[in-house]
Chain A
């Protein structure tokens, strides 16, 4: 069987190749230690920032990206007994209590916490430390509103008026994190007793619901490359600035903007923590300090499109120029979100999807 044996040899060589590919970088004179950071798929940072940390501490930082924020956290909870890494970054305030209840973090009072203003520090025991924040807002298509002469809605109530019939697309909170954030904004505004009535009216006014951000933005939103039918979509307050940064032709101003009335946006805060029983606690502490320090913090906006929590960090020009920051974004106590989230979502599904 000449052919089969040829295949076998090729297969063996492939395997060898795969194995050897990961032996790279182990030849340094003093073997660097490895720090493993678990995070979600949206994590991004400049290469130079990580290289600097690696060189200063003779460490190799491995990142494992594991799905969206919810999946990543669940994975860590399920593998708690044999942790996959040393540090977990990326649980947000909507998932914070699940993380804390599952007891996955060791407390760490970083000296840099004093640079962070108090409203971000949700966990008094410092098991989860704030790193960045961002607002989920309704983006609107400036061109659409300019050409139709329609007034831009300023509040959640405005969205109920008939001239906006069929113009808004939102994500399913059971699947999507911005979808959940927007649901929470309505709960902050109308309370647990009133939000369902609001959604019923929104539904009667031609609300469009899709499952994920991707579809909402690229299939339904009229200002994106997908040229969809709805001129308003739930996205992030930073999306207009990102549209400018990644425009095909240089732009003077953003093609979109956010509605930043009272409680129209929901503030998400992302946290980092040291995973329990890590053998590399010293390195993990150093890495967290580094994440909260100015160079790392100033690198966050252009990579993850979120805001730094360190008050010394400066915002890039693109951010200050092309986007608005809501004055009074909605917030809900994280413990309350955790206890009621599933029930809220289920009730929402009954009203909106059935």
Chain B
């Protein structure tokens, strides 16, 4: 049978849908069937609502506050990075993004060495102001949860909005400026409406990361804070109460659905004006006057203090030992130890093996999520029920990973193929989280491309493929880079699903970190820090390489 190009195109569009049905709908169906098969009216009565109410309220509260603060921090950064050219820009940009991959135990260690009761920042302040007690006491408070969420997720906002801002056509603003509109008016009436789509996308992703946050709440927030995700974890792994865990998961998904529905606008009925994206980077320039220089210096100082300092403290911790009297001593022993199996243990993880596995998983995730995401985002433009589908594809991001992980386990571990090669489940699981990120980064870019460009090409006889290749792809390169990068680093830093699905023969770098930090002893702690630094280096190098190829290809 010979398929027309159009048919091929639609068949291709089925791939992401099939992927989601196989690896999202099916495992969820299996776990919910198990959870609700024994559902009796007994569980629905009594103190059920009390059990749900308080974590639900707190989950929404902390996520809302976190998103609000992330925008406050992220907006100036997105502006700075998309408008100014300055020395070391790539390094700064990377530094903002790196926290995203750090396992929570490592972030906890970094924060502790800075603002813990004997953290350096506290010791410094006590010294300078002659204080008797450490002035910063934020561990186990709501503050540290918010700080950690900003630390983790600001880069998502900065990169997504920054990418859109960087290629916003500058002519309207210039025209408005000539006509005498103030900077504020130009921003409010021109820039903001044009950025709206990507802001909403970024905001939604950040919200969902905070909404389903687990490690930050558990490790930094402490036992008095309870979110839906933490409650689901407790109910599933400790109490084996699948029914309650199932109810909580459904509530989590319903809220994700509602919020996405509320936030996302149907791109085609919104009546928004689209302009040709600026791919020449006309905005980008050196700071022109004193005011801009001050702004940039303030911005970068904040960035160094908030993002670079904790990362730096990790490197520091991986290179010093502290004796009982608090004296510091430089050492490279922790890095040396990483490379030798001193005690001949069976599950020794060589850094090279861990690096190889992490890197392969991340690369595979990036490829699958990148290809499926591009197809899906492009396909979304052509469906009639765009908004519903858009909301559906974002759902995995708001689904409890504990629930989904268990669904994977019950659905796929019995399948002979996956029994033989269980490690392919890891990039698949990572793709589930990465896919919504890729789609949400790409969709605003796709829908910002004027439809008449495509129509013109189609009238001239171009196939959907040719349109995608000649018109869309060149215009979405920057968002595609952002999406692919996040798919890559999401996988690189992922711990939960990996440890759940992988075999000890295929350990990753985050798994090695957890292995070490779960044992007492200075060398184990030091090795965890050293491995975390290697992870940071691998991540930074990968991101810089991706940007390098991006720039290089653009020039040719």
Contacts and interface: CB of A to CB of B under 8 A. Distances in A.
Interface stretch (B160-168, B190-198, B409-417): B409-417
Interface in A249-289: 249, 255
A255 B324 contact: yes
B413 A218 contact: no
A28 interface: no
A70 interface: yes
Contacts of B236: 74
Interface string A2-38: 0010011011001101110110000000000000000
B520 A248 contact: no
Contact of B504 (A1, A65, A223, A235): A65
B326 interface: yes
Q: How large is the interface on A (under 10, 10 to 19, 20 to 34, 35 or more residues)?
A: 35 or more
Contacts of B347: 43-44, 63, 65
A152 interface: no
For the residues of B in contact with A, the DSSP-based class is helix
Interface stretch (B219-227, B270-278, B534-542): B219-227
B365 to A, nearest CB: 10
B65 interface: no
Given A22-B423, A235-B520, A353-B224, A219 B116 contact: yes
Contact of A210 (B118, B223, B360): B223
A239 interface: yes
A191 interface: no
B31 to A, nearest CB: 9
Given A226-B112, A248-B333, A45 B345 contact: yes
Interface in A303-323: 303, 305
Interface stretch (B173-181, B366-374, B435-443): B366-374
A146 B526 CA distance: 26
A172 interface: yes
A260 to B, nearest CB: 17
A174 B223 CA distance: 9
A78 B409 contact: yes
B117 A7 contact: no
Interface string A98-136: 100000000000000000000000000000000000000
B370 A7 contact: yes
Contacts of A11: 364, 367-368, 371
Interface stretch (A46-54, A154-162, A325-333): A46-54
A153 interface: no
A1 B473 CA distance: 10
B503 interface: yes
A62 B524 CA distance: 25
Contacts, number: 191
Contact of A174 (B238, B371, B469): B238
A301 B237 CA distance: 27
A1 B237 contact: no
Nearest to B419: A84
B521 A242 contact: yes
Contact of A47 (B234, B345, B406, B520): B345
B545 interface: no
Contacts of A44: 345-347
Interface string B511-533: 00011011111111110000000
A243 B522 contact: yes
Interface in B469-526: 469, 499-500, 503-505, 514-515, 517-526
Contacts of B333: 248
B319 to A, nearest CB: 12
B346 A47 contact: yes
- Specify which of A44, A77, A84, A303 lies most central, judged by the most chain B CB atoms within 10 Å of its CB: A44
- Pick the most buried of A48, A248, A255: most chain B CB atoms within 10 A of its CB: A248
A225 B346 contact: no
Contacts of A247: 521-523
Nearest to A48: B344
A239 B524 CA distance: 12
B371 A8 contact: yes
A144 B343 CA distance: 31
Contacts of B222: 209-211, 215
A49 B347 CA distance: 12
Contacts of B240: 74, 77, 98
Interface string A204-243: 0000011111110111000111111100000110010011
Interface in B93-114: 105, 108-109, 112-113
A211 B344 contact: no
Contacts of B364: 11, 14-15, 18
A303 B345 contact: yes
Contact of B344 (A47, A67, A227, A248): A47
Contact of A245 (B321, B421, B521): B521
B423 A239 contact: no
Given A7-B370, A22-B423, A84-B413, A342 B118 contact: no
B281 interface: no
Given A215-B219, A242-B519, A226 B503 contact: no
A51 to B, nearest CB: 9
B322 interface: yes
Contacts of B522: 225, 243, 246-248
B455 interface: no
A335 interface: no
Contacts of A219: 108-109, 112, 116, 139
Contact of B118 (A229, A246, A249): A229
Interface string B223-267: 110000000001011111010000000000000000000000000
Contacts of B371: 4, 7-8, 11
Interface string A153-197: 000000000000000000010110000000000000000000000
B301 interface: no
A268 B224 CA distance: 27
Contacts of A215: 108, 219, 222
B322 A64 contact: no
A206 to B, nearest CB: 14
A31 B331 CA distance: 47
Contacts of B370: 7
B140 interface: yes
B329 to A, nearest CB: 8
Contacts of B171: none
A249 B325 CA distance: 14
Contacts of A42: 518
A145 to B, nearest CB: 12
A71 interface: yes
A72 to B, nearest CB: 9
B520 A63 contact: no
Contacts of A218: 108-109, 112, 517, 525
Interface of A: 1, 4, 7-8, 10-11, 14-15, 17-19, 21-22, 41-50, 62-68, 70-71, 74-75, 77-79, 82, 84, 98, 143, 172, 174-175, 209-215, 217-219, 223-229, 235-236, 239, 242-243, 245-249, 255, 302-303, 305, 342, 353
Given A75-B409, A235-B520, A247-B521, 10 more contacts: A15-B424, A45-B345, A45-B346, A63-B504, A175-B223, A214-B517, A218-B112, A227-B118, A242-B521, A246-B524
6 contacts: A21-B423, A41-B514, A63-B503, A78-B410, A175-B218, A248-B523
Nearest 8 CB-CB pairs, A to B? A246-B521, A225-B525, A248-B321, A229-B117, A246-B523, A248-B522, A71-B237, A172-B223
